[in-house]
Amino acid sequence: MLKQWVLVVAAVVFLIVLSLSLLPFFVNAETFRPVIESQLSNALGREVTLGRITFEIMAGSLDFEDISIADDPKFSAVPFIQAKKLNVGVEILPIVFHHRAHITKLNIDTPSIQLIQNASGEWNFSSIGANSAQPGATGQSNSVNDLTVEELRITDGSATVSSIPLTNKPFQYTEVNLAVKNFSFLKSAPFDLSAKLPGEGSLKLSGNAGPISRKDTTQTPFQAKLQLREFDPVASGIIDKTKGITMQNDVDAQISSDGTNVTSTGKIKASQLQLVPRGSPAHDPIDIDYTISHNMKSNKCTVSDIAVHTGSVEVHANGSFEFTPQAVMLDLRVSAPNLPIDQLEQLMPVVGIYLPNGSSLQGGTMTANISVSGPATAAILAGPVEIDNTELAGFDLGSKIEGLTSLTGTSGGTQIQVLKANVNSSPQSAQIKDIYGNLPQFGSATGAGTIADTGAINFTLTVKLNSPNRSIPLTITGTEKSPSIKANIGAILK
């Protein structure tokens, strides 16, 4: 008896498999095209066109070739997404017998994606879903409400980010992979996104997003963890290499959005950091902690704190910045109160400040209150700087002044009780005004000068000697690393 039941079950299974195997010969797969095209078009509010179709009934999937999703016509006539292949997982019985597509999986293979932002800050994907079919009086429709997918994937895609009008070189992402579980326009869903950046950089973003805003997809709430590795904004084309800025960043951050405000806290490890053309990269990585928020309506960002770490000290900045089509505009205030100056030396070349060859600052503190304004790649730094109780070791000022032989006592270095000035620095030059220095071995000095983007210096100072009690006009030219100091002998003799 058992053997007979086994034979019956085997026969039934065989008949089912045989029927499923023969079904594609009796089903015209092309009849499913308008069903899938209509459902996807209604859900996205964009025209979706699908090419040749293959029905894999054993796998419960429809394979489409040469698919495209139209862009918002305000942005481009080129499709928003183009791909060679789309795999749609479906429930077999509804689509075979009722021509209703209950989609379980979507996998877009090697798509090309165009991301475009216009001058008002609007993105071409902002309107996705906004023009989808709306529920009728009976509540029945082929609207976005009907589209729920157990698994949505983009595999090995590429994305180009550009602007209208074109202001920068388009940004290219490659090896874009996205996985979304239980995707729905109406609920939050977990996602994982990874991509390769220009140069050697990589991006990973994972978290939860949704429900998707029908008004503007950029207003969709989300929470995510961001990881960037070896991100080089110059190699990526975000910063023009002629601006003299270099950096390679590792970023770990938490990002969240309520649909209007995006907040982010994170840590940046910046290697080879250089911020001005006349500068040079820092030898050691610089650690940066930050807390910022971005209001998407105003497109302005509030900087609660940026803390730059070097050694055991921190330099803090706060304020705001704004994204414009031309540049990121800064309005920041940098505070550096009573910081050990010998630990700040590695930051000086980053902003184009150099000491004379063979010298170093030993001991003492620096206090600065600097405003940073203008375009991020050509910012103006302005404000007072003061150095107290330090020594310029290895620089014999007494022997450096041409035309005077009576000054001695600085062979071990030049003591600086106080040195303060008002600085106004741009990528082209730095203007140093209201200089006052108290050098115990000599006296005091006042004056002003400039530092060119080439490193050339031109200062005019008046030194009031302790003994003899006289004033000596000095000119300082050459470069920061190799200054030429000359006394105006004619003025002394008058």
Q: Delimit the domains of the chain by residue range.
A: 27-133+143-222
Please choose, from the candidates 133, 134, 115, 135, the residue with its C-alpha nearest in 3D space to the C-alpha of residue 125: 115
pLDDT at 142: 44
Calpha distance 14→203 (Å, rounded): 49
Q: How far apart are CA 413 and CA 2, in angstroms?
A: 104
Q: How far is 203 from 225, CA to CA, in rounded Å?
A: 11
pLDDT at 5: 46
- What residues of the chain score a pLDDT lower than 50? 1-27, 97-98, 133-145
Q: How many CB atoms lie within 10 A of CB 45?
A: 18
Cα–Cα–Cα angle for 129, 134, 136, rounded to 5 degrees: 165
Residue 188: other Cβ atoms inside 10 A? 17
pLDDT of residue 20: 40
Q: Cα–Cα distance between 36 and 88 in angstroms, integer?
A: 9
CB count in 10 Å sphere of residue 12: 10
Global pTM reads 0.80
Separation CA 493–CA 262 (nearest Å): 67
Strand partners, 384: 422
CB-side exposure of 170: number of CA atoms within 13 Å? 16
Residue 408 has a pLDDT of 59
Question: 212 φ, ψ to 5°?
Answer: -75, 130
E strand intervals along 376-412: 380-393, 401-402
User: What's residue 16's pLDDT?
Assistant: 39
How distant, in Å, are the alpha carbons of 133, 319, 367, 382 from that of 335?
A: 54, 11, 8, 12
CB 237 within 8 A of CB 169: yes
β-pair partners for 419: 387, 437
Residues 303 and 294: their CA atoms lie apart, in Å, by 9
Cβ–Cβ < 8 Å for 177, 246: no
Q: How distant, in Å, are the alpha carbons of 102, 180, 183, 453, 492 from that of 148?
A: 9, 11, 6, 59, 88
User: What is the predicted pLDDT for the residue at 35?
Assistant: 78
CA distance 250 to 197: 13
pLDDT in tens, 224-247: 999 999 998 888 777 878 888 888
Identify the pLDDT of residue 490: 61
DSSP state of 253: E
**What pLDDT is recorded for position 9?**
47
> 50, 35 in Cβ contact below 8 A?
no
- pLDDT on residue 7: 45
8 A C-beta contact, residue 314 and residue 307: yes
Query: Residue 111 corresponds to which tokens in the numbers above?
Result: 């798509």
> Do you find a cis peptide bond into 221, omega within 30 degrees of 0?
no
